[in-house]
Protein backbone atom coordinates (compact mmCIF):
# COMPACT_ATOMS: atom_id res chain seq x y z
CA UNK A 1 0.00 0.00 0.00
CA UNK A 2 1.01 3.63 -0.39
CA UNK A 3 2.91 4.75 2.68
CA UNK A 4 1.37 8.04 3.72
CA UNK A 5 0.15 8.90 7.20
CA UNK A 6 -3.38 10.06 7.90
CA UNK A 7 -2.34 13.71 8.10
CA UNK A 8 -0.78 13.58 4.64
CA UNK A 9 -3.81 11.80 3.19
CA UNK A 10 -6.10 14.50 4.64
CA UNK A 11 -3.89 17.23 3.18
CA UNK A 12 -3.99 15.57 -0.23
CA UNK A 13 -7.76 15.28 -0.05
CA UNK A 14 -8.15 18.99 0.54
CA UNK A 15 -6.32 19.45 -2.77
CA UNK A 16 -8.72 17.07 -4.52
CA UNK A 17 -6.32 14.11 -4.45
CA UNK A 18 -7.52 10.81 -3.00
CA UNK A 19 -5.08 8.12 -1.90
CA UNK A 20 -6.91 4.82 -1.39
CA UNK A 21 -5.40 2.71 1.38
CA UNK A 22 -6.73 -0.68 0.30
CA UNK A 23 -4.75 -3.05 -1.93
CA UNK A 24 -7.80 -5.20 -2.71
CA UNK A 25 -8.31 -4.86 -6.50
CA UNK A 26 -12.09 -5.36 -6.37
CA UNK A 27 -12.48 -2.84 -3.56
CA UNK A 28 -10.39 -0.24 -5.37
CA UNK A 29 -12.40 -0.66 -8.56
CA UNK A 30 -15.59 -0.18 -6.55
CA UNK A 31 -14.23 2.83 -4.63
CA UNK A 32 -13.07 4.47 -7.85
CA UNK A 33 -16.50 3.77 -9.35
CA UNK A 34 -18.35 5.30 -6.40
CA UNK A 35 -16.18 8.41 -6.41
CA UNK A 36 -16.87 8.77 -10.12
CA UNK A 37 -20.62 8.38 -9.66
CA UNK A 38 -20.58 10.82 -6.72
CA UNK A 39 -18.98 13.75 -8.55
CA UNK A 40 -20.91 17.00 -8.30
CA UNK A 41 -21.06 19.89 -10.75
CA UNK A 42 -17.60 20.71 -12.13
CA UNK A 43 -15.56 18.91 -9.47
CA UNK A 44 -12.43 17.11 -10.63
CA UNK A 45 -10.53 14.55 -8.59
CA UNK A 46 -7.23 12.71 -8.94
CA UNK A 47 -7.14 9.27 -7.32
CA UNK A 48 -4.14 7.06 -6.58
CA UNK A 49 -4.14 3.44 -5.47
CA UNK A 50 -2.09 0.24 -5.54
CA UNK A 51 -3.48 -3.26 -6.05
CA UNK A 52 -2.07 -6.57 -4.93
CA UNK A 53 -1.17 -8.93 -7.75
CA UNK A 54 -4.06 -9.17 -10.19
CA UNK A 55 -5.00 -8.91 -13.87
CA UNK A 56 -7.60 -6.40 -15.08
CA UNK A 57 -9.09 -6.50 -18.57
CA UNK A 58 -11.01 -3.82 -20.43
CA UNK A 59 -14.80 -3.89 -20.59
CA UNK A 60 -14.93 -5.09 -24.20
CA UNK A 61 -12.15 -7.68 -24.10
CA UNK A 62 -11.93 -11.45 -24.22
CA UNK A 63 -10.02 -12.39 -21.07
CA UNK A 64 -9.05 -15.83 -22.43
CA UNK A 65 -7.55 -14.20 -25.50
CA UNK A 66 -5.55 -11.72 -23.40
CA UNK A 67 -4.78 -13.49 -20.13
CA UNK A 68 -3.27 -16.83 -19.21
CA UNK A 69 -6.43 -17.91 -17.38
CA UNK A 70 -5.31 -21.44 -16.36
CA UNK A 71 -2.03 -20.06 -14.95
CA UNK A 72 -3.83 -17.21 -13.18
CA UNK A 73 -6.35 -19.58 -11.58
CA UNK A 74 -3.64 -22.04 -10.54
CA UNK A 75 -1.55 -19.26 -8.98
CA UNK A 76 -4.58 -17.60 -7.34
CA UNK A 77 -4.11 -14.32 -9.21
CA UNK A 78 -7.47 -12.46 -9.27
CA UNK A 79 -8.97 -11.70 -12.68
CA UNK A 80 -11.12 -8.58 -12.97
CA UNK A 81 -13.04 -6.67 -15.63
CA UNK A 82 -13.29 -2.89 -15.35
CA UNK A 83 -15.84 -0.43 -16.76
CA UNK A 84 -13.44 1.39 -19.06
CA UNK A 85 -12.18 0.24 -22.44
CA UNK A 86 -8.55 -0.33 -23.34
CA UNK A 87 -6.28 -3.30 -22.84
CA UNK A 88 -5.49 -5.93 -20.24
CA UNK A 89 -3.00 -4.94 -17.54
CA UNK A 90 -1.05 -6.62 -14.77
CA UNK A 91 -1.16 -5.03 -11.30
CA UNK A 92 0.98 -5.61 -8.24
CA UNK A 93 2.40 -3.60 -5.35
CA UNK A 94 5.02 -2.08 -7.64
CA UNK A 95 2.42 -0.64 -10.00
CA UNK A 96 0.91 2.80 -9.29
CA UNK A 97 -2.63 3.41 -10.55
CA UNK A 98 -3.99 6.89 -11.17
CA UNK A 99 -7.46 8.08 -12.09
CA UNK A 100 -8.65 11.51 -13.24
CA UNK A 101 -12.37 11.96 -12.57
CA UNK A 102 -14.19 14.99 -13.87
CA UNK A 103 -16.69 16.60 -16.25
CA UNK A 104 -16.80 15.48 -19.85
CA UNK A 105 -16.52 19.07 -21.05
CA UNK A 106 -13.87 20.29 -21.01
CA UNK A 107 -11.71 17.16 -20.99
CA UNK A 108 -8.30 16.79 -22.59
CA UNK A 109 -6.68 13.35 -22.42
CA UNK A 110 -3.40 14.67 -23.81
CA UNK A 111 -3.28 17.35 -21.15
CA UNK A 112 -3.48 14.69 -18.44
CA UNK A 113 -0.71 12.68 -20.09
CA UNK A 114 1.44 15.78 -20.36
CA UNK A 115 0.85 16.39 -16.66
CA UNK A 116 2.31 13.01 -15.72
CA UNK A 117 5.08 13.49 -18.23
CA UNK A 118 6.08 16.70 -16.45
CA UNK A 119 5.75 15.05 -13.02
CA UNK A 120 8.18 12.32 -14.03
CA UNK A 121 10.55 14.66 -15.83
CA UNK A 122 10.72 16.55 -12.53
CA UNK A 123 12.00 13.28 -11.04
CA UNK A 124 14.63 13.02 -13.80
CA UNK A 125 12.77 10.36 -15.81
CA UNK A 126 12.86 10.96 -19.60
CA UNK A 127 9.32 10.59 -20.99
CA UNK A 128 7.79 10.37 -24.46
CA UNK A 129 4.10 10.22 -25.33
CA UNK A 130 3.38 7.73 -28.11
CA UNK A 131 0.84 8.18 -30.88
CA UNK A 132 -1.42 5.73 -28.99
CA UNK A 133 -1.21 7.81 -25.82
CA UNK A 134 1.14 5.49 -23.91
CA UNK A 135 3.97 6.88 -21.79
CA UNK A 136 7.38 5.62 -22.89
CA UNK A 137 10.95 6.09 -21.78
CA UNK A 138 13.74 5.36 -24.24
CA UNK A 139 11.20 3.62 -26.45
CA UNK A 140 9.90 1.28 -23.73
CA UNK A 141 6.39 1.52 -22.28
CA UNK A 142 5.75 2.07 -18.57
CA UNK A 143 2.21 3.43 -18.68
CA UNK A 144 -1.04 2.77 -20.53
CA UNK A 145 -4.43 4.37 -19.95
CA UNK A 146 -8.14 3.95 -20.67
CA UNK A 147 -11.36 5.98 -20.65
CA UNK A 148 -14.91 5.56 -19.39
CA UNK A 149 -17.51 8.12 -20.47
CA UNK A 150 -20.83 8.24 -18.66
CA UNK A 151 -23.33 11.00 -19.34
CA UNK A 152 -21.57 14.28 -18.51
CA UNK A 153 -18.53 12.69 -16.83
CA UNK A 154 -15.32 10.99 -17.83
CA UNK A 155 -12.90 8.70 -16.02
CA UNK A 156 -9.36 8.68 -17.35
CA UNK A 157 -7.22 6.14 -15.53
CA UNK A 158 -3.94 4.40 -16.11
CA UNK A 159 -1.00 2.52 -14.68
CA UNK A 160 2.62 3.40 -13.96
CA UNK A 161 5.10 0.52 -13.82
CA UNK A 162 7.43 1.57 -11.02
CA UNK A 163 8.82 -1.67 -9.63
CA UNK A 164 6.46 -4.36 -10.94
CA UNK A 165 7.21 -8.07 -11.19
CA UNK A 166 8.20 -8.35 -14.85
CA UNK A 167 8.12 -12.17 -14.80
CA UNK A 168 4.66 -12.19 -13.24
CA UNK A 169 3.50 -9.70 -15.86
CA UNK A 170 4.81 -11.91 -18.66
CA UNK A 171 3.26 -15.10 -17.27
CA UNK A 172 -0.10 -13.42 -16.63
CA UNK A 173 -0.59 -11.97 -20.09
CA UNK A 174 0.24 -15.05 -22.16
CA UNK A 175 -3.29 -15.51 -23.46
CA UNK A 176 -4.57 -17.75 -26.23
CA UNK A 177 -3.74 -15.08 -28.81
CA UNK A 178 -0.08 -16.03 -28.41
CA UNK A 179 -0.64 -19.79 -28.60
CA UNK A 180 -0.36 -21.31 -32.07
CA UNK A 181 -2.26 -24.47 -31.03
CA UNK A 182 -5.49 -22.56 -30.49
CA UNK A 183 -7.45 -20.01 -32.47
CA UNK A 184 -10.14 -17.66 -31.22
CA UNK A 185 -12.59 -15.88 -33.54
CA UNK A 186 -14.98 -13.17 -32.44
CA UNK A 187 -15.34 -9.45 -31.85
CA UNK A 188 -13.47 -7.77 -29.00
CA UNK A 189 -10.95 -5.02 -28.30
CA UNK A 190 -7.34 -6.18 -28.58
CA UNK A 191 -4.50 -5.16 -26.28
CA UNK A 192 -1.38 -3.79 -27.96
CA UNK A 193 1.72 -5.34 -26.37
CA UNK A 194 4.86 -3.24 -26.20
CA UNK A 195 8.32 -3.72 -24.74
CA UNK A 196 8.06 -2.46 -21.14
CA UNK A 197 10.32 -0.93 -18.53
CA UNK A 198 10.07 -0.32 -14.78
CA UNK A 199 10.87 3.20 -13.66
CA UNK A 200 13.31 1.81 -11.08
CA UNK A 201 15.38 0.55 -14.00
CA UNK A 202 15.80 4.19 -14.99
CA UNK A 203 16.24 5.52 -11.46
CA UNK A 204 16.71 2.98 -8.64
CA UNK A 205 15.76 5.61 -6.05
CA UNK A 206 12.31 6.40 -7.40
CA UNK A 207 9.29 5.35 -5.31
CA UNK A 208 5.52 5.30 -5.73
CA UNK A 209 5.21 7.80 -2.89
CA UNK A 210 7.64 10.23 -4.56
CA UNK A 211 5.51 10.22 -7.72
CA UNK A 212 2.30 10.85 -5.77
CA UNK A 213 3.88 13.67 -3.75
CA UNK A 214 5.27 15.30 -6.88
CA UNK A 215 1.87 15.02 -8.58
CA UNK A 216 0.14 16.71 -5.64
CA UNK A 217 2.64 19.58 -5.85
CA UNK A 218 2.21 19.91 -9.61
CA UNK A 219 -1.57 19.82 -9.43
CA UNK A 220 -1.70 23.27 -7.87
CA UNK A 221 -0.36 24.69 -11.13
CA UNK A 222 -1.86 22.18 -13.54
CA UNK A 223 -5.45 22.33 -12.29
CA UNK A 224 -6.04 24.42 -9.15
CA UNK A 225 -8.85 23.11 -6.97
CA UNK A 226 -11.11 25.42 -4.98
CA UNK A 227 -13.89 24.41 -2.62
CA UNK A 228 -13.80 20.76 -3.71
CA UNK A 229 -16.31 18.72 -1.76
CA UNK A 230 -14.77 16.16 0.62
CA UNK A 231 -16.22 12.96 -0.78
CA UNK A 232 -14.59 10.75 1.80
CA UNK A 233 -13.64 7.16 1.12
CA UNK A 234 -15.87 5.38 3.59
CA UNK A 235 -18.75 4.35 1.37
CA UNK A 236 -20.83 2.14 3.65
CA UNK A 237 -23.93 4.09 2.63
CA UNK A 238 -22.85 4.91 -0.90
CA UNK A 239 -23.48 1.72 -2.79
CA UNK A 240 -20.10 0.03 -2.59
CA UNK A 241 -21.44 -3.39 -1.57
CA UNK A 242 -23.54 -3.94 -4.73
CA UNK A 243 -20.60 -2.80 -6.83
CA UNK A 244 -18.24 -5.14 -5.00
CA UNK A 245 -20.61 -8.04 -5.65
CA UNK A 246 -20.84 -7.11 -9.32
CA UNK A 247 -17.08 -6.76 -9.84
CA UNK A 248 -16.41 -10.05 -8.02
CA UNK A 249 -19.05 -12.00 -9.93
CA UNK A 250 -18.29 -14.63 -12.56
CA UNK A 251 -21.13 -13.24 -14.66
CA UNK A 252 -19.39 -9.85 -14.97
CA UNK A 253 -15.77 -10.97 -15.22
CA UNK A 254 -16.24 -13.91 -17.59
CA UNK A 255 -19.90 -13.96 -18.60
CA UNK A 256 -19.64 -10.43 -20.01
CA UNK A 257 -17.43 -11.76 -22.84
CA UNK A 258 -18.99 -11.47 -26.30
CA UNK A 259 -19.81 -14.65 -28.20
CA UNK A 260 -16.77 -16.29 -29.78
CA UNK A 261 -15.47 -19.53 -31.25
CA UNK A 262 -12.37 -21.35 -30.07
CA UNK A 263 -10.65 -24.04 -32.15
CA UNK A 264 -7.90 -26.59 -31.62
CA UNK A 265 -6.40 -28.71 -34.38
CA UNK A 266 -4.70 -32.06 -33.87
CA UNK A 267 -4.18 -35.23 -35.91
CA UNK A 268 -5.89 -33.70 -38.94
CA UNK A 269 -9.02 -33.04 -36.92
CA UNK A 270 -10.37 -29.66 -35.89
CA UNK A 271 -12.53 -29.15 -32.81
CA UNK A 272 -14.45 -25.87 -32.57
CA UNK A 273 -16.26 -24.80 -29.41
CA UNK A 274 -18.90 -22.07 -29.50
CA UNK A 275 -18.83 -19.94 -26.35
CA UNK A 276 -21.70 -17.64 -25.38
CA UNK A 277 -21.53 -15.59 -22.19
CA UNK A 278 -18.46 -17.50 -21.04
CA UNK A 279 -20.26 -20.85 -21.46
CA UNK A 280 -19.66 -23.50 -24.08
CA UNK A 281 -22.93 -24.30 -25.86
CA UNK A 282 -21.95 -26.24 -28.98
CA UNK A 283 -18.98 -28.21 -30.30
CA UNK A 284 -18.14 -29.22 -33.85
CA UNK A 285 -15.61 -31.85 -34.93
CA UNK A 286 -14.33 -31.60 -38.50
CA UNK A 287 -12.23 -34.12 -40.39
CA UNK A 288 -12.26 -35.59 -43.86
CA UNK A 289 -15.86 -36.66 -43.36
CA UNK A 290 -18.95 -34.52 -42.82
CA UNK A 291 -18.52 -32.21 -39.77
CA UNK A 292 -20.38 -33.38 -36.68
CA UNK A 293 -22.01 -30.69 -34.52
CA UNK A 294 -23.50 -31.28 -31.08
CA UNK A 295 -25.54 -28.77 -29.08
CA UNK A 296 -24.91 -29.25 -25.37
CA UNK A 297 -27.99 -30.09 -23.28
CA UNK A 298 -26.48 -27.85 -20.58
CA UNK A 299 -23.78 -25.20 -21.16
CA UNK A 300 -20.33 -25.78 -19.68
CA UNK A 301 -17.89 -23.38 -18.07
CA UNK A 302 -15.20 -22.38 -20.55
CA UNK A 303 -11.70 -22.52 -19.08
CA UNK A 304 -9.51 -21.86 -22.09
CA UNK A 305 -6.94 -24.52 -22.95
CA UNK A 306 -8.28 -26.81 -20.20
CA UNK A 307 -11.74 -26.98 -21.74
CA UNK A 308 -10.51 -27.48 -25.29
CA UNK A 309 -8.02 -30.18 -24.33
CA UNK A 310 -10.60 -32.00 -22.24
CA UNK A 311 -13.18 -31.90 -24.99
CA UNK A 312 -10.74 -33.02 -27.66
CA UNK A 313 -9.43 -35.94 -25.63
CA UNK A 314 -12.72 -37.14 -24.15
CA UNK A 315 -15.54 -35.88 -26.34
CA UNK A 316 -18.02 -38.73 -27.00
CA UNK A 317 -19.48 -38.20 -30.43
CA UNK A 318 -22.72 -39.80 -29.42
CA UNK A 319 -25.38 -37.56 -27.85
CA UNK A 320 -26.34 -40.16 -25.23
CA UNK A 321 -22.78 -40.20 -23.85
CA UNK A 322 -22.52 -36.42 -23.72
CA UNK A 323 -24.13 -35.67 -20.37
CA UNK A 324 -21.61 -37.34 -18.04
CA UNK A 325 -18.66 -35.90 -19.97
CA UNK A 326 -19.99 -32.36 -19.67
CA UNK A 327 -20.83 -32.80 -16.01
CA UNK A 328 -17.23 -33.82 -15.30
CA UNK A 329 -15.97 -30.82 -17.23
CA UNK A 330 -18.28 -28.49 -15.33
CA UNK A 331 -16.92 -29.93 -12.08
CA UNK A 332 -13.42 -29.00 -13.24
CA UNK A 333 -14.64 -25.49 -14.02
CA UNK A 334 -16.22 -25.06 -10.61
CA UNK A 335 -13.00 -26.16 -8.90
CA UNK A 336 -11.02 -23.70 -11.01
CA UNK A 337 -13.28 -20.68 -10.73
CA UNK A 338 -14.68 -21.23 -7.25
CA UNK A 339 -18.11 -21.30 -5.70
CA UNK A 340 -19.11 -17.98 -7.29
CA UNK A 341 -20.13 -19.79 -10.48
CA UNK A 342 -22.40 -22.38 -8.86
CA UNK A 343 -25.33 -20.27 -10.02
CA UNK A 344 -24.62 -21.58 -13.51
CA UNK A 345 -25.79 -25.07 -12.59
CA UNK A 346 -29.21 -23.78 -11.61
CA UNK A 347 -29.70 -21.06 -14.22
CA UNK A 348 -31.08 -23.13 -17.09
Task: Return averaged pLDDT per consecutive 10 residues of the chain, 348 residues in all.
Answer: 86 87 94 90 90 97 94 92 96 98 92 96 96 95 96 95 97 91 93 94 97 91 64 59 91 94 86 92 78 82 88 78 82 69 40
DSSP, res 196: B
Cis peptide before 106 (omega within 30 of 0): yes
State residue 342's pLDDT score.
45
Sign of CA dihedral 159, 160, 163, 164: positive
Instruction: Identify whether the C-beta of residue 298 lies closer than 8 Å to the C-beta of residue 269.
Output: no
Superfamily of domain 6-249: Bira Bifunctional Protein; Domain 2 (3.30.930.10)
CA distance 268 to 124: 57
CA distances from 4 to 208, 217, 265, 294, 297 (A): 11, 15, 54, 58, 55
Q: How far is CA 242 from CA 22, 49, 52, 223, in A?
A: 18, 21, 22, 33
pLDDT at 220: 77
Determine the pLDDT at residue 11. 84
* Strands 17-19 and 45-49, sheet pairing: parallel
What CA–CA distances, in Å, run from 202 to 2, 170, 320? 21, 20, 62
Dihedrals phi, psi of 333, to nearest 5 degrees: -65, -40
Give pLDDT, residue 231: 65
Contact between residue 98 and residue 218 where contact means Cβ atoms under 8 Å apart: no
Tell me what pLDDT residue 343 has: 42
Q: Give the model's pLDDT for residue 160.
A: 98
Cα angle 59, 64, 66 (rounded to 5 degrees) comes to 70
Half-sphere exposure of 205 (CA within 13 A, CB side): 3
- pLDDT value of position 118: 95
Predicted local confidence at residue 338, as pLDDT: 64
Helix/strand/coil for 124: coil
pLDDT of residue 230: 65
CATH 3.30.930.10 in the chain, residues?
6-249
pLDDT for residue 189: 94
pLDDT of amino acid 345:
39
User: Coil, strand, or helix at residue 17?
Assistant: strand
Amino acid sequence: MLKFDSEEISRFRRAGVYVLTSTDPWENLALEHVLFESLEDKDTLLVFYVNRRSVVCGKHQNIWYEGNVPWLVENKVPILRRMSGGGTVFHDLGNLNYSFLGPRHPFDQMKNLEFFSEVLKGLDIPVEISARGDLLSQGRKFSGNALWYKKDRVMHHGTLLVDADRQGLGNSLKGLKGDKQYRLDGHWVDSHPHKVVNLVELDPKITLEAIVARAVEGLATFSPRKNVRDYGVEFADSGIEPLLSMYRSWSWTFGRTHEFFCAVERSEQRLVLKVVGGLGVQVTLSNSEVPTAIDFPKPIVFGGRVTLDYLYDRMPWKPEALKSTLEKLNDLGKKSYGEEILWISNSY
